Amino acid sequence: MYVAAFMGLVFFFGGEYLAALYTTDPIVIKNAALTLKIIAFVQTFQSSQFILAGALRGAGDTRWPLISTIVGVVGVRALLSILFVNGFGWGLTGAWVAMALDQLTRSGFIYFRYKSGRWKTTKV
């Protein structure tokens, strides 16, 4: 999580510099920097979600990581992308905000499942 938090800071404060490594187009750099700022806020949640989901799968509780992925990708990311991009007209930013909310939702699902301790009684 420390690495993820550090990378979040790099993405947030250095997004324009990172984008400029790949292009000189100022519009692309501006859009990439904004996208990296959105992703910066998700880094620690995403890393904890990966770690805890892996712990659950390793303990044999594979159902909750699957459910959280389905809910996150289909129920949050896809539906909110449609709403944000088409309904609100947010374009690229809307798609990335939806992705960030998906990651936050999945992180919450996995965290509460892990903290409940119910995974300890899973029969493999």
**HEC profile of 25-59:** CHHHHHHHHHHHHHHHCCHHHHHHHHHHHHHHHHC
Residue pair 33/19 in contact (Cβ under 8 Å)? The answer is yes
Which DSSP string corresponds to 51-91?
HHHHHHHHTT--HHHHHHHHIIIIIIIIHHHIIIIIIS--H
Please tell me the pTM assigned to this model: 0.89
Q: 48: phi > 0 → left, psi -120 to 50 → alpha, else beta; which?
A: alpha
pLDDT confidence tier of residue 1, bands split at 50, 70 and 90: confident
State the amino acid at position 44 in one-letter form. T
pLDDT, tens digit, for every residue of 8-46?
999 999 999 999 999 999 999 999 999 999 999 999 999
Would the pLDDT of 51 be above 90? yes
The domains of the chain are located at: 60-124
Q: 3-state class of 117 per DSSP? A: coil
Q: What is the CA radius of gyration of the chain?
A: 17
pLDDT, tens digit, for every residue of 60-107?
999 999 999 999 999 999 999 999 999 999 999 999 999 999 999 999
pLDDT confidence tier of residue 123, bands split at 50, 70 and 90: confident
Both tokens of 87, joined, read 């309904």
pLDDT confidence tier of residue 124, bands split at 50, 70 and 90: confident
